[in-house]
Structure 1
Amino acid sequence: MGRPPEVFVRPVSMAEGRRLQRIGRTAKDPVKLRRAIVVLMSAQDQPVPDIDHLLDCSQEYVRGVIHDSNHIGFRALDPKWSGGRPRTISDAARRRICLIARCCPRDLELPFSTWSLSKLAEHLVATGVVASISRESVRRILREGGIGWQATKTWKTSSDPDFMPKMAAVLDLYDNPPPEGRVVCVDEFGPLNLQPRPGRTWRPEGAPARQRATFHRYGGVRHMLAALDLATGKMVYRIRQRKRWREFLAFLKVLRERWPGQKLYLILDNFSPHKHPHVRRWAADNDVELVFLPTYASWLNWIECEFTALRYFALNGTDHQSHTEQGTAIADYMRWRNARALPKRHFAPDSVIRTWTDYKVNVA
């Protein structure tokens, strides 16, 4: 009496066989891995009982995988999670929960200004949104709805009545630098104190780097006056004890000597030394145009991001004992940076400021 008829997977091609072997080597899902082994063993003419014995599963399971593979191919390898208790909270209720979570509790006549999961769950039951709900269910519903626990941020808008024309003038210089001139962003960085500065570094887990604490800082402060040349991406700087109009004017003279014969367009904020009468008079007499940013819009100055990098890479995590030591560290970073500098182009190309309808303003 011969062997009873068995179930085998349909003949597989060489490409399908290689794909099954790859799944067997790389699959991280145990269900997908087991189903791939069933199909691969059946393709090698191994009967269902042998597969059942090797994988320690039922023969009904093996036959089911083989039948599914013959009908729908590799889709039969994907897990089919199903079952569980049906949802007790409707989609409409879930949308309402997400909406309520985004509201300020005081707008709903509650005596607090922010939600906790417990307070939100209690309010949902009290208002009849749901019959009952746990804090964990609230958390999962909010996560599925794309609602996260976010910190509140502040945003300072410019109060300058000429904000749009001034911004348009600055962006036009960034986008279309005059061929006969040079666009340079100028600003002050500091104060440069002698203090241990927090930072980040690679360390073993549980063994962070430690620095001394300070209660008195007797070393005084220094200030950096810096300029970013957009044509080359290089920076020029001077470190001084003060940042009055005298120091600022002396720094402008350094810039004037650096690029003789070219008109300088200096992007500046509204710091009072920048607008001193002596500074304005010297600029008018030396082919230097002072282009002032709108009030409370220092983020338009391209040099600000360079200051962030300077603080992160040259100062954070340090504890310099003298201004000479700190100045040397800054000089080393500046030489390294300028050696790799590239021209500055495409300021904030995807920013919302590029889509404002009032951006194209005729600047008088």
Structure 2
Amino acid sequence: MPVAAACPIALRAFERERLKNMAYSHKIEYRLRVRAQIVLHAARGRSNARIAREMGLHLDTVRRWRSRFAERGLGGLRDRARSGRPPAFTPLQVAEVKALACRLPAETGVPLSRWSCPELAREAVARGIATFVSASTVCRWLADDALKPWQHRSWIFITDPDFQPRAERVLDLYARTWDGVPLDEDEYVISADEKTSIQARCRCHPTLAPGQARAMRVNHTYGRGGALAYLAAYDVHRATVFGRCESRTGIEPFMNLVAQVMSVEPYASAKRVFWIVDNGSSHRGKKAADRLTAAFPNAVMVHTPVHGSWLNQVEIYFSVVQRKVVSPNDFTDLTEVGDRLRAFEDRYNATAQPFQWKFTTSDLDDLLARLDRHTADHPEESSLRLAA
């Protein structure tokens, strides 16, 4: 009997490039790599028998994927849909479980703060949605719609009536502008705050350095060696940090930090030095601003809005300190904590670059506009906001 001729394969440029990526990538499934190699060999005009012999495959395998590519292109290299066994759950049952996951447990009378997959599976059986369903099945259903009821995020309404003008002043200073006028070369912007309660936890056994296939090990048991407050002032545009350790926070420790900065150049002889602070008790309100100006006439205090500490760039520096200095906490005493913090300041100031702050007044306008649209669509939340 005559042998059927092999399907001719002619590749376009993008198909050849995609097949090469599939054939030689180690991130692609092995079976897809083999199929791509079959097509590339066929595109060179080789016979099915030769391809099967050189690749160590069965002749029918080569013939199948060559013909499928000729019929459907790159999509023909994927496995065809298989019927599989009949579904054990109806679409209605799946929808009811997803609807249950989208309700707070308290609304259903269940004494839980949030759902987990095992709890959802048990509740579905208790409600008669299904006679039996496993937690893994529920997890798979939720993954189809990217539902994760076991997670939560916190949020807060803007309660400061002067939020926008206060935030704009801070953002303008980051852009080196004050009241619409660019800052001079001898005007500086300082971001300051306190990081409270840095503990000295002396571990009962020494910390072990990481090794082959082993992370660093820190003993869980520790003795308390007290706590201190770390006050820092960050020059926004020069990326310079001034810090000090105090036994507590308050007006006097904060003014000590101010004096530490304002007593050195270029701040001592500067035209103006803007101090961006939040509304903490150490520097809250007009009294704090007047106190600062009385001590240093060229200093200007600028407050962030209430619940707007995220606008204070020194918080970014504190996050760096938390990751690189404080965690994991293993210090013999508070003296070691202070020495480590001061040494890190020197190390940081030697190589630091200003933070790439990208949130501008235009972004602020967009954010507030989105919040206004949200409250307009949910008037019940707006009434709660006013009541608060």
Instruction: Bin the TM-score by the shorter chain.
Output: 0.7 to 0.9
What's the counterpart of residue 314 of structure 1?
A: 325
1:180-199 to 2 correspondence within 5 Å? 180=184, 181-196=187-202
Q: Which amino acid in 1 is paired with 2:301? A: L
Aligned equivalent of 1:105: 105
2:293 maps to a residue whose letter is A
Contact 1:196 1:319 in 2 (8 A): yes
Q: How far 1:192 sits from its partner (Å)?
A: 3.9
Mean Cα displacement is larger for which, 96-105 or 132-141?
Answer: 132-141
Q: Structure 1 residues 136 and 238 mapped into 2: Cα distance closer, same or farther (>3 Å)?
A: closer
TM-score, normalising length: structure 1: 0.76
Which of 1, 4, 7 is the matching residue for 2:5?
7
SS in 2 for 1:137: helix
CA spacing shift, 1:6–1:335, aligned 2, 3 Å = same
1:356 to 363, 368, 382: 368
Residues 137 and 287 of structure 1: CA distance in aligned 2, closer, same or farther (over 3 Å): same
Structure 2 residue identity aligned to 1:268: V
Shift of 1:174: 2.7
Aligned residues: 354
Larger RCO: 1 or 2 (CA < 8 Å, sep 6+): 1
The alignment's TM-score, normalised by the length of structure 2, stands at 0.72
User: How far, CA to CA, are the matches of 1:304 and 1:54 in structure 2?
Assistant: 60
C-alpha displacement at 1:278, in angstroms?
7.9
**Counterpart-to-counterpart distance in 2, 1:304 and 1:201:** 29
**CA–CA separation in structure 2 for the residues paired with 1:147 and 1:120:** 12
Is the contact between residue 226 and residue 236 of structure 1 (CA under 8 Å) also seen in structure 2? Answer: yes
1:209 is aligned, of 217, 222, 232, to 217
Note if contact 1:164-1:358 (Cα within 8 Å) is conserved in structure 2.
Answer: no
Change (3 A) 1:64 1:201: same
> Which of the numbers 266, 289, 293 marks the counterpart of 1:283?
293
Aligned to 1:362: none
Which residue, out of 272, 279, 302, partners 1:270?
279
Residue 298 in structure 1 maps to residue 296 in structure 2: no
Q: How far did 1:309 drift? A: 0.5
Deviations 1:59-80 (A, max 9, x none): 4x54333333333444433333
Aligned to 2:151: 151
Greater CA deviation, 238-247 or 300-309? 238-247
- 1:223 has 2:235 as partner: no
Distance in 2 (alpha carbons) for counterparts of 1:291 and 1:199? 43
| CA deviation string 1:85-122 (max 9, x = no partner) | 35565656544432321102332345555434455345
Q: Structure 1 199/243 Cα, relative in aligned 2: closer, same or farther at 3 Å? A: farther
Structure 2 counterparts to residues 101-180 of structure 1, below 5 A: 101-110=101-110, 112-121=112-121, 123-124=123-124, 133-157=133-157, 159-178=159-178, 179-180=183-184
Q: In the TM superposition, what is the alpha-carbon distance from 1:187 to its structure 2 partner?
A: 1.2
Q: Secondary structure at the match of 2:230?
A: strand
* Unpaired stretches in structure 2, ≥5 consecutive residues: 372-388
> Structure 1 residues 254, 142: CA separation in 2 closer, same or farther (over 3 Å shift)?
same
Deviation at 1:301, TM superposition (A): 1.6
**TM-aligned CA deviation for residue 286 of structure 1:** 0.8
Q: Distance in 1 between matches of 2:80 and 2:308?
A: 55
Tell me: CA distance 1:199–1:225, structure 2 relative to 1, closer, same or farther (3 Å): farther
| Secondary structure in 1 matching 2:318 | helix
SS at structure 2 position matched to 1:355: helix
Shift of 1:295: 3.2
Does structure 1 residue 342 correspond to structure 2 residue 358? no
Alpha carbons 1:230, 1:345 under 8 Å: kept: no
Following the alignment from structure 1 to structure 2, what is the Cα–Cα distance between the partners of residues 111 and 322? 44
Question: Given that residues 8 and 45 in structure 1 are in contact (C-alpha distance below 8 angstroms), is that contact kept between their aligned partners in structure 2?
Answer: no
Tell me: CA distance 1:201–1:346, structure 2 relative to 1, closer, same or farther (3 Å): farther
Quick one: structure 1 residues 86 and 329, their matched pair in 2 at CA, closer, same or farther if it must change by over 3 Å?
Answer: same
Q: Return the letter of the residue paired with 2:346.
A: R
1:8 Cα deviation (Å)? 1.9
- State the Cα distance separating 1:17 from its structure 2 match: 8.0
Distance 1:353 1:215 in 2: 49
What SS class does the counterpart of residue 195 from structure 1 fall into? strand
> Is contact 1:185-1:266 (8 Å) kept?
yes
Distance 2:370 2:58 in 1: 70
2:262 aligned partner: 256
The structure-2 alpha-carbon separation of the partners of 1:108 and 1:225, relative to structure 1 and needing over 3 Å to count, comes to: closer
**The 10-residue stretch of structure 1 (266-275 or 88-97) with the greater mean CA deviation from structure 2:** 88-97
SS in 2 for 1:65: helix
Taking the aligned partners of 2:254 and 2:304, their CA distance within structure 1 comes to 17
The 3 A distance-change label for structure 1 pair 337 and 113 is closer
How far off is 1:307 after superposition?
0.8
Render the CA deviation track for 1:225-270: whole Å, top value 9, x for unaligned. Answer: 2111112121112333444423322332333333113212211223
Closer/same/farther in 2, CA of residues 56 and 142 from structure 1, 3 Å limit: same
Query: What residue in structure 2 maps to residue 246 of structure 1?
Result: 252
Of 10-19 and 72-81, the range deviating more from structure 2:
10-19
Q: Larger deviation: 118-127 or 181-190?
A: 118-127
Cα offset for 1:31? 3.1
Query: Larger C-alpha radius of gyration, 1 or 2?
Result: 1
Q: Distance in 1 between matches of 2:234 and 2:54?
A: 73
Secondary structure in structure 2 of the residue aligned to 1:194: strand
